[in-house]
Structure 1
Amino acid sequence: MGQSIVQDRDLNEYSPSSSSTSEHLPCSHQLCELGPNCKSPKESCPYTVNYYSENTSTSGLLVQDVLHLSSGSNGGSNHSVKAPIILGCGMKQSGGYLDGVAPDGLIGLGIGEISVPSILAKAGLVRNSFSMCFDEDDSGRIFFGDQGPVSQKNTPFLPLNGKYETYIVGVEACCIGNSCLKQSDFNALVDSGASFTFLPNAVYERIADEFDRRVNATRASSEGYPWKYCYKSSMKEKPKVPSLTLVFPLNNTFVVHDPVFLIYGMEGVAAFCLAIQPADGDIGTIGHNFMTGYRMVFDRENLKLGWSHSNCQGLEDGQSMPLSPNGRPPNPLPTNEQQSSSQGHAVAPAVAGRAPTSASAAPREVMTPYFGLLRLLLPLLLLHLPAHHHHIVDSLTC
Structure 2
Amino acid sequence: MPPPPSLVSSILCFLSVFIFTSSSTPNTITLPLSHVFTNHPSSQPFHNLKLAVSTSITRARHLKNHQPNPLKTQIHPKSYGGYSIDLNFGTPPQTFSFILDTGSTLVWLPCSSHYLCSNCNSFHNAPKSFIPKNSSSSKLVGCTNPKCAWLFGANVESRCCKQNTATANCSLTCPAYTVQYGLGSTAGFLLSENLNFPAKILPDFLVGCSIVSVYQPAGIAGFGRGPESLPSQMNLTGFSYCLLSHQFNESPETSDLVLHTSSSDKKRTNGVSYTPFRKNPSSKNPAFGAYYYLTLRRIVVGENRVRVPKRLLEPDVDGNGGTIVDSGSTFTFMERPIFDLVAQEFAKQVNYTRAREVEKQSGLSPCFVVSGTASFPELRFEFRGGAKMRQPLTNYFSLVGKSDVVCLTIVSDDVAGTGVAGGPAVILGNYQQQNFYVEYDLRNERFGFRSQSCKTRV
TM range (shorter): 0.5 to 0.7
Give a deviation string over 1:359-380, Cα, whole Å, max 9, x none: xxxxxxxxxxxxxxxxxxxxxx
Mean Cα displacement is larger for which, 186-195 or 130-139? Answer: 130-139
What is the root-mean-square deviation of aligned Cα atoms in Å?
3.1
Give a deviation string over 1:153-208, Cα, whole Å, max 9, x none: 11111111267643111111111122222336522111111111111322211110
Asked if the contact 1:172–1:184 (Cα under 8 Å) also holds between the matched residues in 2, the reply is no
Q: Distance in 2 between matches of 1:11 and 1:116?
A: 26
> Any gaps of 5 or more consecutive residues in structure 1?
71-79, 315-350, 354-398
Q: How does 1:131-146 map to 2 (within 5 A)?
A: 131-137=240-246, 139-145=254-260
Higher relative contact order (CA 8 A, sep 6+): 1
Q: Distance in 2 between matches of 1:212 and 1:11?
A: 46
Asked if the contact 2:273–2:448 (Cα under 8 Å) also holds between the matched residues in 1, the reply is yes
Q: Distance in 1 between matches of 2:374 and 2:126?
A: 35
Asked if the contact 2:308–2:338 (Cα under 8 Å) also holds between the matched residues in 1, the reply is yes
Alignment pair present for 1:242 and 2:372: no
1:166–1:137 CA distance, 2 compared to 1 (3 A): closer
Q: How does 1:242-321 map to 2 (within 5 A)?
A: 242-257=377-392, 258-265=395-402, 269=403, 271-278=405-412, 280-281=421-422, 283-313=425-455
Greater percentage in helix: 2
TM-score by length of 1: 0.64
Amino acid at match of 1:133: C
TM-score by length of 2: 0.56
Q: How does 1:102-251 map to 2 (within 5 A)?
A: 102-121=216-235, 126-127=236-237, 129-137=238-246, 139-145=254-260, 149-161=269-281, 165-183=290-308, 186=313, 187-220=322-355, 221=357, 222-233=359-370, 240-251=375-386
> Any gaps of 5 or more consecutive residues in structure 2?
1-7, 16-37, 40-123, 163-169, 248-253, 284-288, 314-321, 414-420
Identity of aligned residues (%): 22
SS at match of 1:157: strand
Aligned length: 290
Amino acid at match of 1:59: A
Asked if the contact 1:132–1:142 (Cα under 8 Å) also holds between the matched residues in 2, the reply is yes
Asked if the contact 1:46–1:60 (Cα under 8 Å) also holds between the matched residues in 2, the reply is no
Offset of residue 90 of structure 1: 1.6
Q: Distance in 1 between matches of 2:443 and 2:228?
A: 16
Amino acid at match of 1:130: F
1:303–1:271 CA distance, 2 compared to 1 (3 A): same
Q: Distance in 1 between matches of 2:194 and 2:375?
A: 46
Q: Distance in 1 between matches of 2:136 and 2:276?
A: 42
Asked if the contact 1:247–1:254 (Cα under 8 Å) also holds between the matched residues in 2, the reply is yes
1:19–1:274 CA distance, 2 compared to 1 (3 A): farther
Q: Distance in 2 between matches of 1:274 and 1:177?
A: 15
The residue that corresponds to 2:71 in the other structure is none
